[in-house]
């Protein structure tokens, strides 16, 4: 039986809402790299809106 991994916001590795920490856990990447890429994405345009949408859509771990 295959265990499927789910995307959740991180409760332990968070700075604002845990979106980047959750993405880091999901993709098994250092969350600092995700935060750096997100900061670059924010400078190029819709990063802040995308973060808010992700914070609303991605559930917290129960």
CA distance 31 to 38: 10
53: left (phi over 0), alpha (psi -120 to 50) or beta: alpha
Place of tokens 């771990």: 61
How many independent structural domains does the chain possess? 1
The pTM of the full predicted model, rounded to 2 decimals, is 0.81
Give me the domain span that covers residue 44: 19-57
Distance between CA 59 and CA 36 in Å, rounded? 22
Per-position pLDDT tens, the chain of length 62 = 566 788 899 888 888 888 999 999 999 999 999 999 999 988 988 888 888 999 999 998 77
Inside any domain, residue 46 = yes
In a domain, 45, yes or no: yes
């Amino acid at each position: 039986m295959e265990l499927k991994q789910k995307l959740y916001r991180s409760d332990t590795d968070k700075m604002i809402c845990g979106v980047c920490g959750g993405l880091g856990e999901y993709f098994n990447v250092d969350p600092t790299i995700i935060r750096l890429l997100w900061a670059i994405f924010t400078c190029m345009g819709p990063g802040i809106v995308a973060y808010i949408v992700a914070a609303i859509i991605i559930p917290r771990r129960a």
